[in-house]
């Protein structure tokens, strides 16, 4: 994927969430956005997906201008996985997937059934396909959300902290599902607090703080932080993770 951002500004009421942000990336498959809560990661993801508009500046994703005439068509080719799976509670897993395909993309059920069945099988959901969201686990629901995103044959998938509401076992389950996307060379952008996962699957990292990109680069930035802010962030997160592992022994 290619991303170009020029002097991007986004405000919510009087609060500036993204502040004069600029970025140029080429030939990136997996981009991870990391940083503390409130640093602007999820807002940037929503702007990159076309779900929201900026107050100033320009965004180009794979050559498409987010304020241009191709934005609506671009949004239809984006698969988005939210923090909470956002499945319709009154529809089964299977019907959640078909609804998007039929209503948004105009694809018939007969046409899309083989692909949907294959995706349900690939992500271990075949036996749960006819259950309602409240009848399956959080990890299964989040995997169903990933299948729904994949079913539209997206050019790009965006995931906004998809494990934030899950316990460690379900987190592992969902992260393994997402890792499949990387192994199948699907382009995606993920907002995550799981630094070990980001290090494993990403080929580019953005570390954000207060609406700015403080550091960026391939995964080697974890080994040699160039700024005090990033070093402090890693010290806190990695120290906490190591304490957690010690407590579980």
DSSP, res 92: -
Most trustworthy range by pLDDT among 145-154, 192-201, 206-215: 206-215
Give the tokens for residue 142: 């989040």
The pLDDT of residue 228: 95
Residue 244 confidence (pLDDT) above 70: no
182-103-3 Cα angle (round to 5): 35
Residue whose C-alpha is closest to residue 233's, from 245, 247, 246, 221: 221
Which residue pairs from 10-14 have beta carbons closer than 8 angstroms and sit at least 24 positions apart in sequence?
Answer: 10/40, 10/43, 10/47, 10/52, 10/54, 10/55, 10/211, 11/55
CA distance 93 to 128: 7
Collapse the DSSP code of 181 into the 3-class scheme (helix H, G, I; strand E, B; otherwise coil) and give the result: helix
Please tell me the pTM assigned to this model: 0.89
SS3 24: strand
């Amino acid at each position: 994927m290619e991303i170009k951002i020029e002097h991007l500004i986004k405000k919510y009421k009087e609060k500036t969430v993204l502040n004069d942000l600029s970025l140029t990336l080429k030939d990136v498959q997996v981009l991870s956005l990391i940083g503390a809560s409130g640093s602007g990661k999820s807002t940037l993801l929503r702007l990159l997906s076309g779900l929201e508009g900026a107050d100033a500046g320009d965004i180009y994703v794979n050559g498409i201008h987010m304020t241009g005439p191709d934005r609506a068509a671009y949004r239809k080719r984006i698969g988005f996985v939210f923090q909470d799976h956002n499945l319709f509670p009154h529809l089964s897993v299977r019907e959640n997937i078909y609804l998007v395909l039929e209503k948004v993309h105009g694809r018939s059920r007969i046409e899309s059934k083989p692909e949907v069945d294959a995706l349900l099988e690939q992500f271990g959901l075949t036996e749960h396909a006819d259950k309602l969201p409240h009848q399956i686990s959080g990890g299964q629901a989040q995997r169903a959300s990933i299948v729904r995103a994949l079913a539209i044959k997206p050019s790009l998938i965006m995931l906004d902290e998809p494990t934030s509401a899950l316990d460690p076992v379900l987190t592992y389950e969902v992260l393994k599902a997402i890792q499949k996307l990387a192994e199948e060379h699907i382009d995606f952008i993920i907002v995550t607090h799981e630094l070990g996962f980001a290090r494993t699957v990403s080929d580019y990292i953005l570390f954000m703080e207060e609406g700015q990109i403080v550091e960026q680069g391939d995964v080697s930035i974890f080994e040699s932080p160039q700024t005090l802010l990033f070093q402090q962030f890693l010290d806190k997160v990695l120290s906490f993770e190591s304490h957690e592992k010690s407590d579980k022994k």
